[in-house]
């Protein structure tokens, strides 16, 4: 008489740019009897590539990483069979809203124990959405006033690009870029583009 077939493990990819954190998360999740870590990524672009290669059930990703953020990776994978869990130190309502808009199934802070992360992976894999209730409520108190284009222009300008360079990168006229920057500065009540970027980042809107 043959033994029962072991249950299928939940296949996971982890994206995290801090090497020690990445290794620790992988090792701890591998201790869970029903979870298997199939690939590791150190930035959002690698995460997207790993998901498309390995087709995991769940991607666990940090937000702020080189090449591509976790939010951009979630957006790139929107509509795929892989569910996304955002794992971050940032309890910023703007980040949560952008994660939900990108189709993320979970949003968890790194301060939570690994047991909570494992439980979130299981729930998200079953199609549930897992978000801290207090953070979820706060996310809808102050809506993000920026349009996608204003956000793009502000990010590039705050990184030190000149108006003409931003215009070339986004295939816009310099006048249009100045208009987007002016709109963003006005909406945020900022003194200038640097101040606008600071305010937007503090809210999680960049």
Helix (H) or strand (E) holding 186: helix 174-188
86 in any annotated domain:
yes
Question: Side-chain half-sphere of 100: how many Cα atoms within 13 Å?
Answer: 15
Domain count, the chain: 2
pLDDT, position 1: 43
Per DSSP, the residues of 57-77 read SEEEE-SS-SSS-HHHHHHHT
pLDDT, position 95: 82
168 in any annotated domain:
yes
Contact 56, 35 (CB under 8 A): no
* Residue 86, helix vs strand vs coil: strand
Tell me what the mean pLDDT of segment 89-116 comes to: 85
Tell me what the mean pLDDT of segment 185-206 comes to: 85
Contact 42, 67 (CB under 8 A): no
What percent of the chain stands above pLDDT 90?
A: 53
| Pair 118, 173 in one domain | no
Tell me what the mean pLDDT of segment 161-185 comes to: 91
Contact 53, 26 (CB under 8 A): no
Burial of 127 (0-12, 13-18, 19+ CB in 10 A): exposed
**Model confidence pLDDT, tens digit, residues 4-30:** 566 789 999 999 999 999 999 999 999
| Pair 132, 186 in one domain | no
| Pair 110, 52 in one domain | yes
pLDDT, position 48: 96
pLDDT, position 188: 86
Tokens 């690994």 sit on residue = 114
**Model confidence pLDDT, tens digit, residues 29-82:** 999 999 999 999 999 999 999 999 999 999 999 998 988 999 999 999 998 999
Domain that holds residue 14: 10-139
Tell me what the mean pLDDT of segment 134-149 comes to: 71
Tell me what the mean pLDDT of segment 148-172 comes to: 89
């Amino acid at each position: 008489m043959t033994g029962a077939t072991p249950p299928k493990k939940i296949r996971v990819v982890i994206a995290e740019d801090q090497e020690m954190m990445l290794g620790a998360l992988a090792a701890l999740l591998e201790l869970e009897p029903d979870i298997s870590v199939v690939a590791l990524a150190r930035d959002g672009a690698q995460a997207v590539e790993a998901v498309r290669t390995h087709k995991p059930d769940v991607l666990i990703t940090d937000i702020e990483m080189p090449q591509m953020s976790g939010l951009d990776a979630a957006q790139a994978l929107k509509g795929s069979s892989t569910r996304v869990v955002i794992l971050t130190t940032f309890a910023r309502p703007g980040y949560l809203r952008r994660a939900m808009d990108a189709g993320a199934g979970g949003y968890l802070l790194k301060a939570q124990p690994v047991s909570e992360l494992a439980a979130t992976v299981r729930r998200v894999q079953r199609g549930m959405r897992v978000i801290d209730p207090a953070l979820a409520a706060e996310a809808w108190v102050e809506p993000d006033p920026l349009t996608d284009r204003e956000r793009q222009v502000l990010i590039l300008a705050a990184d030190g690009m000149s108006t003409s360079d931003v215009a070339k990168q986004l295939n816009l006229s310099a006048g249009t870029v100045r208009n987007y920057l002016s709109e963003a500065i006005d909406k945020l009540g900022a003194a200038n583009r640097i101040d606008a970027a600071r305010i937007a980042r503090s809210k999680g809107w960049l």
